[in-house]
Amino acid sequence: MLIWTLATLASCGEEPLSEDAYHWDVKVTGVETDCVPEDQQSPYGENLTYSLEFTGSLTKLMIGTDSFATGTLRGCELEYESQVVGDQDRDVQWVLSGHAVQRTGGDICDMADKVEEERLAAGIDDDAWTANQSQYLGGGEPATVDWVGMETFEIVASEDASIPVGCTYTLFVAGNYRTDG
């Protein structure tokens, strides 16, 4: 499935973390796609470590030491986007865009309210949330997570007839700040 390919290309396994970055262990969960018929969709979830390096409000997002997007931090709000990325084996290219509310520990940002806002924006209904909240939050509780947001992969070029240009994959991302660097 393409979503596995997208995420696999964004993450290259267990890599060393940048010493100059701040790190969050996050759970990435697929919540919606219009790229694949609903009866052919399979659940997607993966645990990753996101690392952020800051230069003022400019932010570089990494998995391991590999940058996958850049963005702007305003208070606790982070907006980010990747360059065009591709899978040469399938002749597909996409752009990732995302937003998150993040904190480096403490209680500066009201995360419980932000988790609820993001859950509703992601279209996760009350029944699914009640049954799977721990899964979506990587085992955490709404008030204790330090990262919550959404990411969208948009297909911008495709030679693969089964993957139409313009279709999207939406992911819910939540996790906790690592104090161990």
pLDDT in tens, 20-70: 899 999 999 999 999 888 888 788 889 999 999 999 889 999 998 889 999
Which secondary structure element, helix H or strand E, spans residue 116, and what is its range?
Answer: helix 111-121
> Are β-strands 168-177 and 92-102 bridged in parallel, bridged antiparallel, or unpaired?
unpaired
| pTM across the whole model | 0.87
Nearest C-alpha neighbor of 94 from the set 167, 29, 45: 167
Mean per-residue pLDDT of the chain: 86
Higher per-residue confidence, 165 vs 1: 165
Domains and CATH numbers, the chain: 2-9+21-177 (2.40.128)
- Tell me if 58 sits within 8 A of 165, measured CB to CB: no
- Tell me if 51 sits within 8 A of 59, measured CB to CB: no
Helix, strand, or coil here: 29?
strand
The pLDDT, as a whole number, for residue 65 is 86
Higher per-residue confidence, 108 vs 31: 31
Segment of 83-92, 106-115, 121-130 carrying the highest mean pLDDT: 121-130
